[in-house]
Structure 1
Amino acid sequence: MEREFEQVGNKKIFWQQGSRILLAVSGGADSFVLLRLMAKMSQKYDFFIGVAHINHQLRPSSTKEAQALAYYCQMHHIAFFERKWEDVPHAGVEEAARRFRYAFFAELMQEYYFDTVMTAHHADDQLETMLMKIIRDGQLKNAMGIKVRQSFAGGKLIRPLLSYSKKEIYDYAKKENLPYFEDESNYYLDVQRNRIRQQITPLLKAENPQILAHFQQLSQQLIWADEIIETKAAAWISKYVKQKEENLSFKVKDFLNLPVRERYFTLQYLAQKIKQSYEVTISEENLQRILKLLTTNKAQWQLDVAAFWQVLKMYEEVIIGKKAIPNEAKTFHFRVGDSGFLSETEWLAIVPAHQNVNLPEKVKLWSEISQPLALNFPNEVIIRKRMDGDRIQLKDSLRKKVSRILIDKKIPNDRREKTWVVTDTNNQVLAVLPITFSYLSIAVETDKIHYRLLYKYQ
């Protein structure tokens, strides 16, 4: 196994001299095998490895296992990084845990300059994942399963054990006398993956011992097929779809000129691009509705596809984009010295730094943010509700979407829509109340403070 692992790793350039590779190690046999193999390769090919471990705290033995893994890494002079999962949800634990893990890996890659993260997914994982995806949603894009290599956090995500069966991995772990741990939760049949692992895959393997190789082959073919589909869809979108701010549009006749077999995948690819650019998800159900509506003779129709997003057909044109802001949405203009209520539970003032503020009685006990303002803070600002596409300059080299900040801060959806942004007259975002301020609007310690923004809220 070592010889084959080395040959494949060199051929596919899983590593090279000077690489910095982060290994995701749970403590199970598969991840310990990955750790042992990569430790041997690192010594032979002169690259650095580190271990990332998530203590999910879902089992009583989790802490002891994390301590044992940390000790193992210490004894073998391997960098070890651990994070505990504190906010475990009541539902959707598996997907939430996955998001938490990969967020941790991305953070480590950026902070410690790792160029690659490796996970210990193997051929049995591939079979289980593909079966789960087919059972859950029957989507080609999901049915392709786990990719051997993909881009991740500015580097690469590689699964070098994907061609090895669980039996091969356990045989190697036994041969090397590795101190791995067994997760008893892998046997709980209230988890779908466990039911597939315990009850279905043994039957499939008995039916055909080549089932793992066949599913790996099928996965690769589906990946190639998806690449062909995306190439054609991207070419059509580039030619026929026009984009203006937060609206995308195309001519109905251009879309209907596509063969029926290509319409779905083209629209699905467009929805994927919308999700990447605007964080708006168009469901499979809505994709099917759009396809059906486009073949009707209705001159005009409208379909809500997400919060504040819709698809409009207006005679010969289809427009996908954000709904117009209702007339009742308020916009405020403030100058230094102005104050007033933004809503029943929010009050704002921009005042000279040392001036006493005459607070309305109603707001005196409300929560407060008092922000010293930079000397070059504009004379006039606009306070409005946030809009998709708003970005704020947090540092000289860091500009971030307001929507992403709200997600990162775990602001509930109902509060996100109530968020106010402060902009200058050129629509440059200076603050997101009460979340953050642009570095352009914050006074530094050496500045003489002339003004401050006072925000009271309940």
Structure 2
Amino acid sequence: MKLLAISGGPDSMVLLHKNRNKKVVVAHVNYNARPDSNNDENIVREFCKENNIEIKVLSLKGKPKTNFQAWAREVRYDFFKEVYDEFECNELLVAHHKDDFLETALMQKESGREPKYFGIKKVNYLKGMKITRPFIDKYWKKDLLELCKIWNIPYAIDSSNSEPVYTRNKLRIELSKLSLKAKKQRLSWFKMSNKILVKKNRKVQFNCFLWAKNSFSVKSFRILHFKEEVIFEFLHEFGTDIKVTKDKINSIIDFITSKNGKAEYKISSDEYIKKENGIISIISKK
């Protein structure tokens, strides 16, 4: 059984149309954030009814005053997880496409931080769900709109997507002004960059493995490559909710490699990196 994340927009409605004769269940979230939100829900419900497809709807009331998109994503995927488990699904299909990939990659690039991967992966895992994006390397937005026209697929347009309120929306508007050739060039650059990043990440993971194999000793850490990346992985593996900057990571490296035999370094309100007997660990002082 596959779970389909269907918003009612053209992208997800093509996904629903393509899978209408398969063993699927549909999950739709109505945030009630726009006057026409119910129209989206009605389109999805009607399509599912006509094609005898099981549908689960989460209708929300109220929203946070700040960071709506982050909140919406968390709520959305928590709901998907509930439906995924209820129907014992083995895969969640999402209708992200090439334009979505490009938007995400450009946002990452503009942040100035090097990611592990530019854009959106075709397959990843979240909350115990296998998430697959069959359109991510196949269709542009315009292709999906054309398919809706050819196959006479009903869909809704989210009017908030054209409002330059969020960073992603601003990028979306800018990308819509580019020619297909220009978008393809940018996409090719990110794909080439990802090949380099994947190779680098393998080396980082190997260095993490070497350090763990040597019981996180100070001696073995000193000879590792990619120290910044290794520390980042270490903190997120053994810390609870640690947010670090590049400067803080470099300070941690200095702390670990210093000649102090026994010391502690505060990394959050109640967590510390402990150095004792040549071994590094994270301790909690709650």
TM-score, normalised on structure 2? 0.89
CA distance in 2, matches of 1:322, 1:281: 12
CA distance in 1, matches of 2:141, 2:271: 45
2:29 is the counterpart of 1:54: yes
Distance 1:153 1:258, change over 3 A: closer
In the alignment, residue 27 of structure 1 is paired with which amino acid?
G
In the alignment, residue 166 of structure 1 is paired with which amino acid?
K
In the alignment, residue 96 of structure 2 is paired with which amino acid?
H
The correspondence for 2:252, drawn from 264, 287, 290, is 290
Q: Say if 1:109 and 1:153, in contact at 8 Å, map to a contact too.
A: no
Q: Say if 1:165 and 1:212, in contact at 8 Å, map to a contact too.
A: no
Q: Say if 1:144 and 1:223, in contact at 8 Å, map to a contact too.
A: no
3-state DSSP class of the match of 1:199? helix
2:173 is the counterpart of 1:198: yes
- 1:82-124 deviation digits (Å, cap 9, x = unpaired): 0023352111111111111111111111111111110000011
CA distance in 2, matches of 1:160, 1:63: 27
In the alignment, residue 283 of structure 1 is paired with which amino acid?
V
2:83 is the counterpart of 1:108: yes
The correspondence for 2:14, drawn from 30, 33, 44, is 33
Which shows bigger deviation, 198-207 or 104-113? 198-207
How far off is 1:151 after superposition?
2.9
CA distance in 2, matches of 1:315, 1:284: 27
Tell me which residue corresponds to 2:270: 308
Tell me which residue corresponds to 2:236: 272
2:52 is the counterpart of 1:88: no
2:30 is the counterpart of 1:24: no
The correspondence for 1:253, drawn from 212, 219, 239, is 219
Q: Which has the higher contact order (CA 8 A, sep 6+)?
A: 2
- 1:5-29 deviation digits (Å, cap 9, x = unpaired): xxxxxxxxxxxxxxx0111011111
The share of aligned pairs that are identical, in percent, is 27
CA distance in 2, matches of 1:280, 1:209: 38
In the alignment, residue 120 of structure 2 is paired with which amino acid?
I
Distance 1:80 1:220, change over 3 A: farther
Q: Say if 1:126 and 1:216, in contact at 8 Å, map to a contact too.
A: no
In the alignment, residue 265 of structure 2 is paired with which amino acid?
L
2:124 is the counterpart of 1:150: yes
The correspondence for 1:171, drawn from 146, 152, 155, is 146
In the alignment, residue 258 of structure 1 is paired with which amino acid?
L
- 1:29-76 deviation digits (Å, cap 9, x = unpaired): 100111111225x2xxxxx11111000111011023212321221111
CA distance in 2, matches of 1:155, 1:91: 28
3-state DSSP class of the match of 1:306? coil
How far off is 1:125 after superposition?
0.3
3-state DSSP class of the match of 2:267? strand
Distance 1:87 1:254, change over 3 A: farther
Tell me which residue corresponds to 1:122: 97
Distance 1:165 1:220, change over 3 A: farther
Q: Say if 2:273 and 2:281, in contact at 8 Å, map to a contact too.
A: yes
TM-score, normalised on structure 1? 0.57
Tell me which residue corresponds to 2:242: 281
Question: May I ask how many residue pairs the two structures share in their alignment?
Answer: 284
- 1:411-438 deviation digits (Å, cap 9, x = unpaired): xxxxxxxxxxxxxxxxxxxxxxxxxxxx
3-state DSSP class of the match of 1:254? helix
How far off is 1:203 after superposition?
4.0
RMSD over equivalenced CA pairs, Å: 2.4
3-state DSSP class of the match of 2:177? helix
2:281 is the counterpart of 1:319: yes
2:210 is the counterpart of 1:236: yes
Q: Say if 1:89 and 1:96, in contact at 8 Å, map to a contact too.
A: yes
Q: Say if 1:28 and 1:183, in contact at 8 Å, map to a contact too.
A: yes
CA distance in 1, matches of 2:252, 2:42: 53
CA distance in 1, matches of 2:89, 2:167: 34
In the alignment, residue 230 of structure 2 is paired with which amino acid?
T
Q: Say if 2:9 and 2:40, in contact at 8 Å, map to a contact too.
A: no
What runs of 5+ residues in structure 1 fail to find an aligned partner?
1-19, 43-47, 242-249, 326-458
Distance 1:205 1:314, change over 3 A: farther
How far off is 1:315 after superposition?
6.8
3-state DSSP class of the match of 1:39? coil
Structure ID, larger Rg: 1
3-state DSSP class of the match of 1:81? strand
Q: Going by fraction, where is strand more abundant, 1 or 2?
A: 1
- 1:186-205 deviation digits (Å, cap 9, x = unpaired): 11112100111112563475
In the alignment, residue 158 of structure 1 is paired with which amino acid?
T
Tell me which residue corresponds to 1:406: none
Q: Say if 1:301 and 1:312, in contact at 8 Å, map to a contact too.
A: yes
3-state DSSP class of the match of 2:20? helix
CA distance in 1, matches of 2:179, 2:253: 37
Distance 1:321 1:288, change over 3 A: same
What runs of 5+ residues in structure 2 fail to find an aligned partner?
none
